[in-house]
Structure 1
Amino acid sequence: MNYYKYKKRFISLIRQFSSVKTTVKLDENVSNDISNSTIKPRYHPGRTLSKTIHVPNNIIGSIQNILEDHPAKSVIEDCKILIRYLKARLTPVEKNHINVIKREVTQEILNKYNLDTASEEKKEKLLLGLNGKIQERLKQKIYNWTPIQYNEYNSLLYLLGRFAPDYAALVRVLYEISIKDLQFKPRSLFDFGSGVGTVTWAAKNYWDKNLFEYFNVDSSAHMNDLAQLMLKGGRGTTQVNLKGVFYRQFLPANNIAYDLVVCSYSLLELPSRRARLQTILNLWNKTSQYLVVVEQGSNAGFQIVNEVREFILNIKDGINQGYVFSPCPHDASCPRILYDDTPCNFEVSYASLPLGAASKICKERYCYIVLKKGSRNEDDPQWPRIVREPLVRSRHTICRLCTKEGKLDEIIFTASKHGKVTYHCARSSKWGDLLPISVDIKEIKDDSTE
């Protein structure tokens, strides 16, 4: 993997000038709780939701009801095509970058056919003849981004193909807010790019008794109709499972703030970076406590999530200032952007919808950021986040961590070096968990190199 190439290269450079001493200390409160048998190491408070996520039966029933009027086999095949397309989706190329690529390609053709020495008149004639080659080359180098038209049929395909993985990722992300901030009892939810209403159902898991308003915005009227249909249990039913749910096609112009604002799997559908940041600014202004952004676990998804992260953290005025609640234990620049070329993503296990075949256990990779308004509490321990699946081996476990200093670190935990309790905490942790430790890294200069 590229991660290992980076690690080897980085470590070799460090060893030329210094050696590194890493000191690990288990959080004192966690250590006391384990000593008093209040908790066990495998259930330490840094653990996140790791079980397989199942779509509730009432939602499955609604989807099956909606699907009754359609030929299941052909719908499922078309659904697979849409899923593959969405997973490979990239951000639209910016106009200024397109112009740079055009100049580079034109110069490449000029060099290939030795046109630099030709007269301007002859060069223009030859370029007209080579225009086809230039256009063909541009098609290869420029991603042809086009917005997806979510008509009635495409909305149905999205429901069947993406509801389960989207729901699982959102349940996982919102779970961390619910357990880390017990005082958070949201009364209002704003969902931008709400689609088939997945965020509404995921939030219902944790704050069903607190939420009184679900405000959903999606540019597709068909998506909104489908989301409302699911709330009723499908066609031919009148039951409404939730009250206080509203649907709109455009962002409202009012200044009403919502306790929880979510934008999931939507920013890739905006035509430019400027449109994305303008949308995020509008959403941040509508946030009173938490803003959650979730995207595909691809490089494109990570690029967008980091774009949001940097944009919000650079807002310094008091009212709109915020910090990263999760997954990052810091507000510094992302070390993966600085030193690595792999996305900072996470993985959730979910059960697929039992439509046309038995339900299967699948994996979904996603990128996300949870931003909270205000300043980070001084008593926030900022435990390091496990950013890759731990390598559990005989008598040792290797954890790849993102630390509060904004660094990527790799620690080999053993019982003899770190103690049994710390070792068992590390060994039982999963990708995406926080590890309740403090990491002190010291560089010790090697005088022999001088």
Structure 2
Amino acid sequence: MILNKGLRGTCAQCLRNWSTSSVVFLEKQSKYAVTPDENVLKDLRDEVYKPRKHPGVMKESATVMPEGFVKAALNTVADYPVKALVESGNTLSRHLKGRVPPMERTQILRKYEQVRDKVLRQHLDREITSQEEERRFRQMSKDKIDNIMREKIYNWKPMRYDVYSSLAYLLVRAPAEYAVLRRILGEIARRDPEFTPRSLFDFGSGVGTVTWAANFYWKNQIYEYFNVDCSSDMNDLAQVLLQGGRGNAPSSLKGAFFRQFLPASNVGYDLVASAYSMMELPSMETRLDTILNLWNKTQKYLVVVEQGTNAGFKVINEIRDFILQIDKEGSVGHVFAPCPHDQSCPRYVRDDGTPCNFEVRYWTMPVGQKSECRTERYCYVVLRKGKREDSDQPKWPRLVRPTLVKSKHTLCRICSCKGQLEDVIFTKKKHGKLTYHCARASRWGDLLPITLETNEEINNKDTED
């Protein structure tokens, strides 16, 4: 829960820092020249779209669950105490957001040695005159070390979902996860309109939110849905939802398969996803073995999503770095989103306790509760097979924190294609009316249709010309 409190203060702290150190930003701003994308500028001048609708905008209105999903959920929980399920779901959701992956054995041993040395240093002057006194001292020290270790080491246990907990998960977690996946898959659909997946593989499929989100964009293109979840009750629930909440009804989706274990074969799938599942694996070795298995099944895109906490961010960055270091022919990949580069994550390297996360709004399901608009924070990476080509996509920087809009200037914190975090102050006088209004309309998670260049890079270009 401490992580969550830290997250709630992140935005406010960022805004306070920005407002109290604008002089520093102005100094940094002088090092860079902002060059707007010429194609976007032309479209803006021709009024193809307004600045608030520029092609880098990713934000959508609050996501609502599909009507068919809500009806199926109502049918599924008809014989259960719905209000109690919602309360259990809220408790489960809080637990999942505070969850961290298990510590590695080497980390535990290192921590144990640190605690042991600290405890023993407190008794350096103690005189032991008998074997019985020594025995009591050893037992006392051991008990004290064990108590401290229990406080310091997260008691990780694998999540086990039965029928009841699966239904609780459905009512509370499904809308948030669906909204996140809609946002991520929507960016793929917008930026790569030629991508028409024929097959989908979902690891840790749960109640099937990946399938429902993918169907929003490619329902008529996908012909195979392979879902893997270790919980047989989750698999049964996901299948029943596709049947409208009635187990004896035909499925609304053909080609959907459910399994409890990863298949041994490396059959390829156009789109492979793992949402909120990697932290449920017992070790880093298992996570990396699993992600390599998924990467080998990927033909075009691999999507990995975790909670928007520091723990979720570290797992995502671990996976990102692991895939990017693969140098085997046919397995090379690059980051499609959110990063505009393949270098080390600047936020992770800085290690300032702030995760690289994003936010989406969604409406809760009107099942056992009044529908409310809430926000969900998440960390993610979309990896694409093949080397990064200059012609693939424009290398627009991404906003990684809320935009700070003032009366005559706008402050944007962006992650650039150079693999750096930059604070850019946009003004109408310096950057032009259209670029200024594009920055002003952009929000956390959007791409800015600009490039950042240092004075040295501009001089080098002029020399070459």
Q: CA deviation at 1:435?
A: 0.2
Which residue of the partner structure matches residue 221 of structure 1?
232
What letter is aligned with 1:135? Answer: D
Is it true that 1:389 corresponds to 2:399 in the alignment? no
The normalised TM-score by structure 2 is: 0.90
Higher mean alpha-carbon deviation, 121-130 vs 140-149, is at: 121-130
Higher mean alpha-carbon deviation, 262-271 vs 77-86, is at: 77-86
Which 5+ residue runs of structure 1 have no aligned equivalent? 445-450
Is it true that 1:362 corresponds to 2:374 in the alignment? yes
Contact 1:352–1:360 under 8 Å retained in 2: yes
Higher mean alpha-carbon deviation, 431-440 vs 235-244, is at: 235-244
Is it true that 1:51 corresponds to 2:29 in the alignment? no
Distance 1:111 1:420 in 2: 65
* Aligned 1:18-417 pairs, distance under 5 A: 20-114=30-124, 125-235=136-246, 237-339=248-350, 340-379=352-391, 380-417=393-430
Distance 2:257 2:307 in 1: 26
Contact 1:294–1:305 under 8 Å retained in 2: yes
Contact 1:191–1:262 under 8 Å retained in 2: yes
Contact 2:26–2:425 under 8 Å retained in 1: no
Q: CA deviation at 1:21?
A: 2.0
CA root-mean-square deviation: 2.3
Q: CA deviation at 1:265?
A: 0.3
Contact 1:27–1:437 under 8 Å retained in 2: yes
What letter is aligned with 1:278? Answer: D
Distance 1:315 1:236 in 2: 44
SS at match of 1:324: strand
Q: Give the direction of change, closer, same or farther, for the CA distance of 1:201–1:413 in structure 2 (3 Å limit).
A: same
Q: Give the direction of change, closer, same or farther, for the CA distance of 1:126–1:300 in structure 2 (3 Å limit).
A: same
Deviations 1:199-246 (A, max 9, x none): 000000111111000000000000000000000011365131100000
Aligned residue-pair number: 442
Contact 1:110–1:116 under 8 Å retained in 2: no
What letter is aligned with 1:405? Answer: K
SS at match of 1:30: helix
SS at match of 1:292: strand
Contact 1:216–1:245 under 8 Å retained in 2: yes
Distance 2:137 2:108 in 1: 23
Contact 1:21–1:443 under 8 Å retained in 2: no
Deviations 1:323-373 (A, max 9, x none): 000000000000001113200000001000112222111000000000000
Distance 2:339 2:247 in 1: 46
Q: Give the direction of change, closer, same or farther, for the CA distance of 1:285–1:272 in structure 2 (3 Å limit).
A: same
Q: CA deviation at 1:119?
A: 8.7
Percentage of pairs with the same residue? 49
What letter is aligned with 1:66? Answer: T
Q: CA deviation at 1:118?
A: 5.8
Distance 1:120 1:411 in 2: 70
SS at match of 1:336: helix
Q: CA deviation at 1:39?
A: 2.1
Contact 1:19–1:443 under 8 Å retained in 2: no
Q: Give the direction of change, closer, same or farther, for the CA distance of 1:223–1:20 in structure 2 (3 Å limit).
A: same
SS at match of 2:320: helix
The normalised TM-score by structure 1 is: 0.93
Higher mean alpha-carbon deviation, 113-122 vs 251-260, is at: 113-122
What letter is aligned with 1:64? Answer: L
Q: CA deviation at 1:263?
A: 0.3
SS at match of 2:355: coil
Distance 1:272 1:360 in 2: 37
What letter is aligned with 2:39? Answer: N
Q: CA deviation at 1:162?
A: 0.5
Distance 1:12 1:116 in 2: 54
Higher mean alpha-carbon deviation, 179-188 vs 374-383, is at: 374-383
Which residue of the partner structure matches residue 448 of structure 1?
none
Deviations 1:149-195 (A, max 9, x none): 11111111111110000000000000010011111110000000001
SS at match of 2:31: strand
Which 5+ residue runs of structure 2 have no aligned equivalent? 1-9, 458-465
Q: Give the direction of change, closer, same or farther, for the CA distance of 1:228–1:378 in structure 2 (3 Å limit).
A: same
Higher mean alpha-carbon deviation, 187-196 vs 110-119, is at: 110-119
Q: CA deviation at 1:20?
A: 4.4
Q: Give the direction of change, closer, same or farther, for the CA distance of 1:120–1:389 in structure 2 (3 Å limit).
A: farther
Deviations 1:255-299 (A, max 9, x none): 201000000000010011001000000000000110000110001
